Amino acid sequence: MKNTSLEWKSANEAVNYPESLEFMEARVDAIARHGGSECVWLLEHPPLYTAGTSANPEDLLNPRFPVFETGRGGEYTYHGPGQRVAYVMLNLKDRQAEPDLKKYVWLLEEWIIRTLAKCDVAGERREGRVGIWVKTGDTEAKIAAIGVRVRHWVTYHGIAINNTVDLSHFNGIVPCGIRGFGVTSLQALGKNVPMYHLDRALEESFAEVF
């Protein structure tokens, strides 16, 4: 890996989705063309739904919040207050001898799993189901989502971890097109995790994984 500078940004107020997309696209271009600093941006959005490139219109059950088309992979997801979104802009050509998108997604999963472990939650991968899952009684539920896009081998979009989010807001969609399983949050699992603590866990785990 080459020496790369990494900027951590954190938004104190909810960021509108078009604003975040504009920032990411500009930063990706700067990284790809001008050697700009890589970036991890921690933020929350106002309530909204985003549709990935594989989104099925039938999975938009009740568009009670604004819906944004996005170029990331995946299907429909919800973003809103109490959910920590981490947008990750990294240059895979500098970080990997052979740029590998599947490996990158695995690393994002590992990042989430290690972060949740610092919050005393056991997150797990599931074959054929994107995101990170936790066991809840006799079933399991999704606690974190992943959606990425790559341009010139520079990544953007990223992950979302449900902390204190209102889980009823997911009822307007079939999250990630996966039926038969619910969503959960740190709060719903009985974990009281201040957002600043979650952010610190994300930074520590990022250093371990990447």
What is the Rg, in whole angstroms, of the alpha carbon atoms belonging to the chain? 16
Establish whether 119 is a catalytic residue.
Answer: no
Output the pLDDT for position 79.
97
Q: Which of 42-46, 54-58, 197-201 has the lowest mean pLDDT?
A: 54-58
pLDDT 10s digits, 141-158: 999 999 999 999 999 999
**Residue that wins the pLDDT comparison between 114 and 73:** 114
Distance CA 104, CA 92 (A): 8
Residue in 130, 144, 176, 183 annotated catalytic: 176
pLDDT 10s digits, 17-50: 999 999 999 999 999 998 899 999 999 999 999 9
Walk me through the domains of the chain, giving residue ranges and CATH numbers: 6-209 (3.30.930.10)
pLDDT higher than 70, residue 177: no
Output the pLDDT for position 4.
65
pLDDT 10s digits, 70-103: 988 888 999 999 999 999 999 999 999 999 999 9
Distance CA 35, CA 120 (A): 38
Using the structure block, give the residue that is written with the tokens 């819906």. Answer: 67
